Amino acid sequence: MEGSLLILIPISVLLVLLIVGVLWWAARSGQFDDMEGPAHAILMDDDKPKPESLPEKEAEKSADAEGPQQRT
């Protein structure tokens, strides 16, 4: 019983120190600064609309390349 405590107590102390160190690092590096921003950022995403008039633009470009056409 005493032999296992000599192993378990130092392991527990090291584990607690490791957890405290990780939490301290997270707090110092700004991991907890903005908890809601990333959650709402996905809702603020502006998707570019698909160009629906693509054939019209291509027709205008080809007409411009041919030169002015006469209307009759």
Q: Per-domain residue ranges for the chain?
A: 6-30
Which stretches of 29-70 are DSSP H helices? 37-41, 54-66
When pLDDT is cut at 50, 70 and 90, the band that residue 11 belongs to is very high
DSSP 8-state symbol, 1? -
Could you read off the pLDDT of 14-59 as tens digits, one per residue? 999 999 999 999 999 988 888 788 777 777 777 676 666 656 656 5
How remote is the C-alpha of 15 from its chain's centroid? 31
For the chain, the first-to-last Cα distance in angstroms comes to: 107
Distances (CA, A) of 49 to 23, 53, 55, 60, 63: 43, 11, 16, 21, 26
Its pTM stands at: 0.49
